[in-house]
Chain A
Amino acid sequence: MSRDGFSISLASPHAPGMDGMQKFGIALFVLAILFTIVGALGPAAQDPALFFYLGFVVSVVGLSVYTVRTYLNRPSGVQNNHIFTSSLTNRGLWGWALGVFLTGFYVVLYWGSDEMWNGAPLVLLFNPISQGLFNHPPDRWFLYSFIYTISILIMGVRVILKYRHSNYQIVRTCSIMFFQLGFAFLIPQFLKSMSQPEYYFSYFWPLDYDLLFPSSVNGLLSSGSLGIWMLLISAVLTFIVTPILTYFFGKRWYCSWVCGCGGLANTAGDPFRQLSDKSMKAWKIERWMIHSVLVFITGLTILLWVNSCLVGGIFGDFSHSLTKVYAFLIGQAFAGVVGVGFYPLLGTRVWCRFGCPMAAYLGLLQKYFSRFRITTNGGQCISCGNCSTYCEMGIDVQSYAQRGENIVRASCVGCGICSTVCPRGVLNLENGLTHQDRENNNPITFGNDGVGLDTGFGN
């Protein structure tokens, strides 16, 4: 175990020996990152292209070479060896260090001053892509969006290689990468470059919490016909498309196929998914928290409209202050700082599980109006615990599977990893024929003909 104790490998904690190609990839990555850091200390402001291409881009290439080589060196199949003996993925030294680093990054990103960020060489480094593609200078939000997208793409490739024995994971990850690149990066940036509202078609209310605030609505309405269309599309997505798709497919169509938050969790966050808390206590806290956030944002939106109609008659500045509280506590501190910064400490879906109002809304639809369920395959469960361990939402999947019960949980995002890691083919994500046929109740092991409900079970 000592040999693996200091492994910081994300790609495969498996291989103590590296071949030439892996060594080359890592060397390229480290040298290019060093070069990028040198640039970010100052010189990148003068010659961004040099540091962007030779630094950042080359580092991405180096990392990709290493990752591809590492996974293709292994036969396809579940590749979770050494996850709990590796420091990075088991809250060891490197996990702690990375958690602090990411959290610090988010704190500086959200709450750093404009003087600090504007014209910083680290931001200017991305000038070639920002100016080149979109014709506007980069700011901190461009930097963030670009790095976010690149993370999903590179780590998405890693996920595809890691889970290449599962076509569900391959197709799903391609979808995540597509929506992030197109809908959460290229389209908004192009819109911005055409002086249109920087609109994200893949985020809508209540996740994009201020989208239906009177100020945003008025803003969109006043920005011409495209703005009106955007508003209409958001309303349709929230109130019509979401319930329909969730009825047929469960909340996974959004949380695990479209959403960028889920997208980052399932790509960059994949090495940390096993760190989620599976206790009953965590589940209780989860239900209180996530539904409170949904109530908060719904109430706040209504309040703002009432206030807007009455021109501040009753609530005065109160609703505005509440908005600020929400933006700070939920929008920034929770979704960003804790949600991503704490990946290596609390697991990947902390935000999706405890805070996201969209997930709460989808969850209620999934629990009460959906055909989706995870089917348990008769009596085949051996209670090994892999499904629960690798559930990023902290669902104790096994507690259902070992009772032969289907899993119908509001929080399940349908990532499908429980089914992928199950060694006995017990779990399957299914859209049933009706809403009613999803729950089953088999207190006795399937196949045990001697003991049935008719023998008086359940007294």
Chain B
Amino acid sequence: MTAQKNIIIIGNGIAGITAARHIRKRNDDHNITVISAETDHFFSRTALMYIYLGHMKYEHTKPYEDWFWEKNRIKLKRAYVSKVEPILNSILLDSGELLTYDELIIASGSASNKFGWPGQDLKGVQGLYNYQDLESMEANTKGIERAVVVGGGLIGIEMVEMLRSRQIPVTFLVREASFWEDVLPKEESEMINRHIRSHHVDLRLKTDLKEILSDENGIARAVLTGDGEEISCQFVGLTVGVHPNISFLKNSGIETDKGILVNEKLQTNFSNIYALGDCAQLRMPREERRAIESVWYTGKMMGETVAATICGQPTNYNPGIWFNSAKFMDIEYQTYGYVSAHLKEGEESLYWEAEDGVRCLRIVYESATKSVVGFNAFGIRLRHQVCDEWLKNRTHVDEVISNLNKANFNPEFFKKFVNDVKFKSMRK
């Protein structure tokens, strides 16, 4: 039985809320307060695009009904934290209110990148990360004739899909030679290039942004590309990645680099202050993994980890086999283990692509031992537990392929891919 603590969580995204929920699951007595400047309640950031598409309303993106928080005695506070004072164990809100804590969890998420382009602060130019971005995108895209989206990554393609759903012509500027090519191998990346174009998107590869031009009212009217081409547009989406949202910690004494520096227990240089999710930067990231992991799943895992530590069960952040997922317009993507854009030395891969050109599977394995190290699936669904077990056990690729059916998570009556993959592997 631990003594009652006063716990403050900054940020009501998946990391902060998971921490709050799991602290409450483990302990009935702690006071838990979650502070957010974004929305009154936790919503799923990954679902923002579906509100714009009209698949859902904001209410549908809230994973818990509003009564949940009071029932679980998790206090929600809508405010912006302007200052953290670790020495005094207190935080200052923009309202002037001062709150004190025994333990502080910072889960303040990310902010969109801007790289100093001329015109990047014009009206009609924006990123897409938070709820306010969604509202401004709604306003900024009303009645426009063309939009330009800059940046070939996950948010970029989401923004393109959003704009296309309203029949807005889109030019998609991707600096690299192919979509998301620093993460996806060539074949997968090219599949997505084709898919983007099949949705009538003007995809410009190897094209970067030079400047955004203004009209007389300070609204974007065109972009100028690196090639000197002027593309007329009334909306510019800047989706060139995110960075930890930590500007409010300046001069607080909390050590930061790109993000808030944390040890393996997600503790900052102050033992009662933790950081998790997008804003945390691991001092000693594990091999194969990044120091800042800004994905949904790791935010969730970090929340679970911190809750254990705070509730008297000191626990290291120890995510198992890497996994992730996304959806590129109509093509679902799942990945398990490590598939890099360019095979590493000593690695080989088996790549199968269906004739329809929208489904493929890549299995990466070590040349010497033939142990599997990663899976990339596009347009097909793989069973997480099975892939995880194979990867953990470093299973032989032949065994994986002959048991591939166990990993098939496609719905009933779907086209079988397992035999095609086996056939492909036999020919190899």
Query: Can you show 23 pairs from A to B with CB atoms below 8 A apart?
Result: A15-B167, A78-B330, A81-B55, A83-B54, A170-B413, A171-B413, A377-B384, A378-B383, A383-B44, A385-B50, A425-B382, A443-B25, A444-B304, A445-B297, A445-B300, A447-B297, A447-B319, A448-B304, A449-B319, A450-B316, A450-B317, A451-B315, A455-B315
Q: Which residue of B lies closest to A376 (CB)?
A: B384
A459 located at the interface, meaning its Cβ lies under 8 Å from any Cβ of chain B in the complex: yes
The answer to whether B167 touches A379, judged by C-beta atoms less than 8 angstroms apart, is no
With contacts A446-B384, A455-B315 taken as known, whether A384 is within 8 angstroms of B411 at the C-beta atoms is no
The answer to whether A382 touches B301, judged by C-beta atoms less than 8 angstroms apart, is no
Q: Which residue of B lies closest to A402 (CB)?
A: B63
A427-458 contact mask (Cβ, 8 Å, vs B): 1 or 0: 01100000000000001111111110001111
**Residue in A279, A380, A444 with the greatest tally of chain B CB atoms within 10 Å:** A380
Q: How many A-B residue contacts, CB cutoff 8 Å?
A: 183
Q: Which residues of A contact B63 (CB under 8 A)?
A: 383, 385, 398-399, 402
The answer to whether A80 touches B14, judged by C-beta atoms less than 8 angstroms apart, is no
Q: Which residues of B contact A81 (CB under 8 A)?
A: 53-55, 165
The answer to whether A424 touches B327, judged by C-beta atoms less than 8 angstroms apart, is yes
The answer to whether A84 touches B56, judged by C-beta atoms less than 8 angstroms apart, is yes
Binds B, one of A40-48, A56-64, A92-100, A161-169: A161-169
The answer to whether A447 touches B323, judged by C-beta atoms less than 8 angstroms apart, is yes
The answer to whether A459 touches B26, judged by C-beta atoms less than 8 angstroms apart, is yes
Q: Number of B residues whose C-beta is below 8 Å from A? A: 63
The answer to whether A168 touches B384, judged by C-beta atoms less than 8 angstroms apart, is no
Q: Which residues of B contact A13 (CB under 8 A)?
A: 54
A411 located at the interface, meaning its Cβ lies under 8 Å from any Cβ of chain B in the complex: no
Residues of chain A touching chain B, judged by Cβ–Cβ distance below 8 Å, are: 1, 3-4, 13-17, 75-78, 80-86, 165-168, 170-171, 279-280, 375, 377-380, 382-386, 388-389, 398-399, 402, 416, 419-421, 423-425, 428-429, 443-451, 455-459
Known: A379-B323, A424-B326, A428-B410. 13 other contacts (CB 8 A): A167-B411, A377-B383, A378-B323, A380-B325, A384-B50, A386-B47, A399-B64, A445-B304, A446-B384, A451-B308, A457-B25, A458-B25, A459-B311
Majority SS at the chain A contact face: loop
B321 located at the interface, meaning its Cβ lies under 8 Å from any Cβ of chain A in the complex: yes
A457 to B309, CA, bound (A): 11
The answer to whether A447 touches B321, judged by C-beta atoms less than 8 angstroms apart, is yes
The answer to whether B297 touches A428, judged by C-beta atoms less than 8 angstroms apart, is no
B385 located at the interface, meaning its Cβ lies under 8 Å from any Cβ of chain A in the complex: yes
A15 to B166, CA, bound (A): 9
The answer to whether A450 touches B319, judged by C-beta atoms less than 8 angstroms apart, is yes
B414 located at the interface, meaning its Cβ lies under 8 Å from any Cβ of chain A in the complex: yes
Contact of B388 among A165, A384, A443, A447 (CB under 8 A): A447
Q: Which residues of A contact B384 (CB under 8 A)?
A: 377-380, 446-447
Q: Which residues of B contact A1 (CB under 8 A)?
A: 138
Q: Which residues of B contact A423 (CB under 8 A)?
A: 327, 332
The answer to whether A451 touches B305, judged by C-beta atoms less than 8 angstroms apart, is yes
Q: How far apart are B62's CB and chain A's nearest CB, in angstroms?
A: 8
Give B351-400 interface residues, CB cut-off 8 Å to A. Answer: 381-385, 388
Q: Which residues of B contact A170 (CB under 8 A)?
A: 413
Q: How far apart are A328's CB and chain B's nearest CB, in angstroms?
A: 35
B329 located at the interface, meaning its Cβ lies under 8 Å from any Cβ of chain A in the complex: yes
Contact of B47 among A77, A384, A429, A447 (CB under 8 A): A384
Q: Which residues of A contact B61 (CB under 8 A)?
A: 384-385
Q: Which residues of A contact B411 (CB under 8 A)?
A: 166-168, 416, 419-420, 428-429
B37-55 contact mask (Cβ, 8 Å, vs A): 1 or 0: 0000000101100100111
Q: Which residues of A contact B300 (CB under 8 A)?
A: 379, 445, 448
Q: Which residues of B contact A447 (CB under 8 A)?
A: 297, 301, 319-321, 323, 384, 388
A398 to B43, CA, bound (A): 13
A14 to B167, CA, bound (A): 8
Q: Which residue of A lies closest to B1 (CB)?
A: A459
Give B44-101 interface residues, CB cut-off 8 Å to A. Answer: 44, 46-47, 50, 53-57, 60-65, 67
The answer to whether B198 touches A448, judged by C-beta atoms less than 8 angstroms apart, is no
Q: How far apart are A16's CB and chain B's nearest CB, in angstroms?
A: 6
A454 to B315, CA, bound (A): 11
The answer to whether B325 touches A382, judged by C-beta atoms less than 8 angstroms apart, is yes
The answer to whether A446 touches B388, judged by C-beta atoms less than 8 angstroms apart, is yes
The answer to whether B44 touches A165, judged by C-beta atoms less than 8 angstroms apart, is no
B424 located at the interface, meaning its Cβ lies under 8 Å from any Cβ of chain A in the complex: no
Q: Which residue of B lies closest to A422 (CB)?
A: B332
Q: Which residue of A lies closest to B17 (CB)?
A: A383
Q: Which residue of A lies closest to B55 (CB)?
A: A80
With contacts A1-B138, A385-B44, A425-B381 taken as known, whether A448 is within 8 angstroms of B305 at the C-beta atoms is yes
